[in-house]
Copies of this chain bind each other. A is one copy, B any other.
């Protein structure tokens, strides 16, 4: 009889794991019987694409779906939507699920379990946080809810939290004609950058017409007679709101795993080995796990689709009988606000200070192309290196078109633990339409090396 694989959560991590497990097992002549349950309505979608759907850059939710339930079924996966896993017994090997559509509860036995329950938006612990009109941006249903608000003219939106999702949603809504205020606790938006680069993000947001309120903590969500949100109260003032978007981060959705006694880290994320195995017969991938950070040399919770897909593939390869490992991350991320691109990898200067690391930090200004070439745009690169070793600790980039993807070079240097002196001498591509003769990343690395 075929081995039964049960997948909880049918998004990136779970379904890439399931598909890769089937492929790997099939290649080895083994048969797997795969069931996937998900409490939502959508499989394998790009949550990262939601802001662009809100903005109107993407025509429909369907465009964000990489693979529908039907497509998964055609590939041999028994996908059951609107079906919630409510209890897990890893000793006995079963999951109790509730099919909310049919109103039916049943126990599904398994030989191998994949937990891919993702993450849920953090709601500030203040009065009114569960009011109507306050949305996280996690599922396509959340996106649809925000979109319905855009149909009403003169709506006012408040975004709480100026991180990636907060910025992207603020831009999307201001482009759709809403009046948008972004409230953030930090001294500058985008606290995964140092504040000296955050100022550029701040300015770009204001140029778009976004009202930016920094160093402000939310104290309450005010509501009207209908129970819907009417304003966001902070220690720096109160901002009227017809719709509120939460960009306050997410936490691993691991209540089921916790109740089952599975190992969790301090973030609440599942702890796996580098094959994505939690315990014998139980695997996990995606936004519900902690990930090894190769620079911090510690476990972190970094909910990004790129990690979920890679972990899912590693998981599926191992579950299917092959061999693969997920080697960890270095903390790379990027986005754009209007025409300002921003990116980071590794440690910021603030991180290095907090970690008590002896370090140097340098910032350089350059251009994305040779200065004399048409379309050369400004780029700022900040680089942090350990002292006295010179080992690269992290980099941040803010600039116009053609800037942010250069962070990949820094991510590769972090990956291989290069010093800034080595990075300055690597063989990067140069031609006037693409770079100055010393790539901006190398100018920063050279300056850091000189400072050491």
Stretch from A35-43, A96-104, A256-264, A305-313 that touches the partner: A305-313
- A422 adjacent to B327 (CB under 8 Å): yes
How many identical subunits does the complex contain?
2
Rounded to whole angstroms, the CA-CA distance of A422 and B294 in the bound complex is 14
By a CB distance below 8 angstroms, the chain B residues around A304 are 430
The reply to whether A406 and B409 contact each other, CB–CB distance below 8 Å, is no
Q: Does A452 touch B at the CB level, under 8 Å?
A: no
What 1/0 mask marks residues of chain A from 88 to 101 whose CB sits below 8 Å from any chain B CB? 00000000000000
A411 at the interface (CB under 8 A from B): yes
Smallest CB–CB gap between A372 and chain B, Å?
A: 4
- Interface 9-residue window, one of A117-125, A196-204, A351-359, A432-440: A432-440
Cβ of A63 and Cβ of B411 under 8 Å apart? no
CB-CB under 8 A from A437, the residues of chain B are: 12, 46, 48, 305-306, 309
Which residues of chain A (392-430) have a CB below 8 Å from chain B? Answer: 402, 404-409, 411-413, 415-416, 418, 422, 424-430
A329 near B: Cβ within 8 Å? yes
Is there a chain B Cβ closer than 8 Å to A57's Cβ?
yes
Determine if A378 is an interface residue (Cβ-Cβ < 8 Å). Answer: no
With the chains together, A134 CA to B98 CA distance in Å? 80
A431: chain B residues within 8 A (beta carbon): 48, 164, 333-336
Q: Contacts A49-B373, A305-B437, A309-B437 given: A333-B429 contact, CB under 8 Å? A: yes
**A430→B57 contact, CB < 8 A:** no
Top-5 shortest CB links A-B: A412-B412, A416-B416, A306-B430, A334-B429, A63-B372
**Pairs A–B under 8 Å by Cβ, sample size 13:** A46-B437, A48-B370, A48-B437, A63-B372, A305-B430, A335-B433, A405-B434, A408-B408, A408-B429, A411-B426, A411-B428, A412-B416, A415-B427
Which of A's residues lie within 8 Å of B, judged by CB? 12, 46, 48-49, 52, 57-58, 63-64, 164, 304-307, 309-310, 313-314, 326-336, 341, 343, 345, 370, 372-374, 402, 404-409, 411-413, 415-416, 418, 422, 424-435, 437-439, 446
